[in-house]
């Protein structure tokens, strides 16, 4: 599988799941994506990792004391100076939800809500830099968000995370894509297709997990007790389905064009 030999500043480097049902989530994702679930760590408040072929793919944890899990996936973007990134974020309209915290010798993290309200993690890696495998089945392919004002959202990520995305207009919509220059593929995207949001749903980052056969994967989601919110359909980069796990955490499954008949 393609390796990330280094995580560029501002690129997505990790994702984690805040789930109200740890056991159910472990059952669902290990069977859907072929992951293994490590044991929750008491030292890290019950946090645990999912791995694929021995490599860390994602993190997860359940309720935190009086804070009840809201069943969401959250991306983390890489920083080489967490304090400076937070200063830039607040200066550009973000709200700090969780202040900087050291996670043993692994690194430092913080969580913000960007100006659109989307929750975003920031990670300054030390001994742990995040996932190292992308763009293969069972790994993250990219993260994306749709907001009413894409121009403002793009400016925020330019100013705070130093993005230099490729931008385009198509079918009356505005898109910006942060590219993985190592593999020539997108790793993050911002658009204004707010019709992709469910009624009453606020802008949020979606994780696109790559699969070899999105139609078969969607069927498996249903068999495992999840929900298929939108059936697999052709998109700009391939076929995509919007689904949720049995606890309600939503995500996308993505089959690249090179692996479709379209």
Give per-residue pLDDT as tens, 37-69. Answer: 999 999 999 999 999 999 999 999 999 888 899
Task: Using the predicted structure, report yes or no on whether residue 151 has a pLDDT greater than 50.
Answer: yes
Per-residue pLDDT band for 132 (boundaries 50, 70, 90) equals confident
Sheet strand arrangement including 48-52:
36-37, 48-52, 55-61, 12-18, 72-78, 119-125, 107-113, 95-103
| Helix (H), strand (E) at residue 31 | helix 22-33
Mean of the pLDDT values across residues 216-243? 95
The percentage of the chain sitting over the pLDDT mark of 90, rounded to a whole number, equals 81
Q: What's the pLDDT score for residue 237?
A: 81
Tell me whether the CATH fold assigned to 12-125 matches the one assigned to 140-259.
yes
Judge residue 192's burial from the number of C-beta atoms within 10 Å of its C-beta, 0-12 exposed, 13-18 middle, 19 or more buried: buried
How many residues are present in the chain? Answer: 262
> Which has more pLDDT, 19 or 174?
19
At 196, is the secondary structure helix, strand, or coil? Answer: helix
Residues ≥6 apart with Cβ < 8 Å to 140: 12, 15, 57, 58, 131, 134, 207, 208, 209, 210
Residue 226 CB-half CA count within 13 A: 29
CATH code of domain 140-259: 3.10.180.10
Kindly state the greatest CA–CA separation across the chain: 50
Alpha-carbon span 106 to 82, nearest angstrom: 14
CA dist 195 → 21, 173, 235 (Å):
30, 11, 14
At residue 261, φ and ψ (nearest 5 deg) are -90, -5
Per-residue pLDDT band for 171 (boundaries 50, 70, 90) equals confident
Alpha-carbon span 211 to 253, nearest angstrom: 6
Alpha-carbon span 1 to 29, nearest angstrom: 19
* Contact assessment for residue 77 and residue 13, using Cβ atoms and an 8 Å cutoff: yes
Task: Using the predicted structure, report yes or no on whether residue 262 has a pLDDT greater than 70.
Answer: no
Topology (CATH) of 12-125: 2,3-Dihydroxybiphenyl 1,2-Dioxygenase; domain 1 (3.10.180)
The domain limits of the chain are: 12-125, 140-259
Per-residue pLDDT band for 260 (boundaries 50, 70, 90) equals low
Model confidence, pTM: 0.94
**Other C-beta atoms within 10 Å of 96: how many?**
14
Per-residue pLDDT band for 7 (boundaries 50, 70, 90) equals confident
């Amino acid at each position: 599988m393609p390796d990330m030999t280094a995580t560029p500043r501002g690129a997505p480097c990790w994702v984690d799941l805040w789930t109200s049902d740890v056991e159910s989530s472990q059952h669902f994702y290990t069977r859907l994506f072929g992951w293994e679930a490590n044991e929750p760590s008491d030292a890290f408040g019950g946090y645990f990792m999912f791995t694929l072929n021995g490599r860390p793919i994602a993190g997860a944890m359940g309720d935190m004391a009086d804070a009840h899990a809201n069943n969401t996936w959250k991306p983390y973007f890489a920083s080489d100076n967490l304090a400076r990134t937070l200063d830039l974020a607040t200066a550009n309209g973000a709200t700090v939800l969780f202040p900087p915290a050291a996670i043993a010798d692994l690194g430092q993290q913080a969580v913000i809500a960007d100006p659109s309200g989307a929750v975003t993690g920031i990670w300054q890696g030390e001994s742990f830099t995040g996932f190292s495998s992308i763009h293969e089945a069972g790994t993250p392919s990219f993260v994306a968000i749709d907001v009413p004002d894409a121009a403002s959202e793009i400016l925020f990520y330019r100013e705070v995370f130093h993005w230099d995305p490729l931008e385009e207009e198509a079918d009356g919509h505005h898109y910006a894509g942060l590219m993985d220059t190592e593999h020539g593929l997108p790793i993050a995207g911002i658009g204004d297709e707010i019709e992709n949001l469910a009624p009453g749903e606020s802008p949020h980052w979606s994780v696109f997990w790559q699969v070899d056969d999105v139609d078969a994967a969607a069927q498996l989601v249903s068999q495992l007790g999840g929900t298929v919110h939108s059936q697999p359909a052709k998109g700009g980069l391939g076929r995509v389905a919007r689904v949720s796990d049995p606890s309600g955490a939503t995500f996308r499954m993505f089959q690249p064009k090179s692996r479709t008949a379209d």
